[in-house]
């Protein structure tokens, strides 16, 4: 894969990826490459700086990833705490409880718990609004259920 920075006659710059460098040479003269901003097919290569990987660049990338992971984990912890504080854990009775709430057989409330893929599919088919919780935000199951 090769990336080119291109520019149209209206000075819109954009980047595009090709399988090989000759793809641009074959497609551009045929008008097969269009500017995403204005649709102009008269495009040419723009000046590009080479992408050189250095130790400093790798360190900066690693720092950015670590910072992003820290932010994502903090957000996940906040969501998990919100679920724990504001939702009732119903364990493996989730499908029955969700159905009872949906059909008005019990008071409406936010719940979480476990369901098999088959139970989840049945709830979906019945129009019961459910969504899986990704492991990273799912609260740890509480042990004491009545």
Task: Please name the residues in contact with 18: beta carbons below 8 A apart, sequence gap of 6 or more.
Answer: 1, 2, 3, 4, 24
Domain regions of the chain by residue span: 2-45, 56-125
8-state DSSP, 94: H
pLDDT tens per residue across span 44-71: 998 876 767 788 888 888 999 999 999 9
Q: Residue ranges of the chain with pLDDT lower than 70? A: 49, 51, 142-146
Q: Give the per-residue pLDDT at 49.
A: 67
Q: Give the per-residue pLDDT at 53.
A: 73
Q: Give the per-residue pLDDT at 10.
A: 94
Q: Give the per-residue pLDDT at 114.
A: 94
């Amino acid at each position: 894969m090769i990336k080119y920075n291109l520019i149209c006659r209206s000075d819109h710059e954009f980047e595009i990826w090709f399988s090989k460098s000759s793809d641009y040479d074959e497609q551009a003269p045929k008008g097969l490459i269009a500017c995403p901003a204005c649709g102009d097919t008269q495009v040419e290569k723009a000046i590009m700086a080479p992408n050189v990987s250095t130790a400093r660049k790798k360190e900066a990338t690693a720092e950015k990833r670590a910072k992003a992971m820290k932010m994502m984990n903090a957000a996940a912890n906040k969501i998990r705490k919100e679920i724990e504080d504001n939702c009732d854990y119903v364990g493996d009775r989730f499908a029955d409880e969700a159905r009872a709430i949906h059909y008005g057989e019990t008071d409406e409330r936010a719940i979480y718990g476990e369901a098999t893929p088959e139970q989840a599919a049945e709830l979906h088919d019945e129009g019961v609004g459910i969504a899986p919780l990704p492991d990273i935000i799912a609260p740890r199951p509480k042990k004491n259920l009545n």
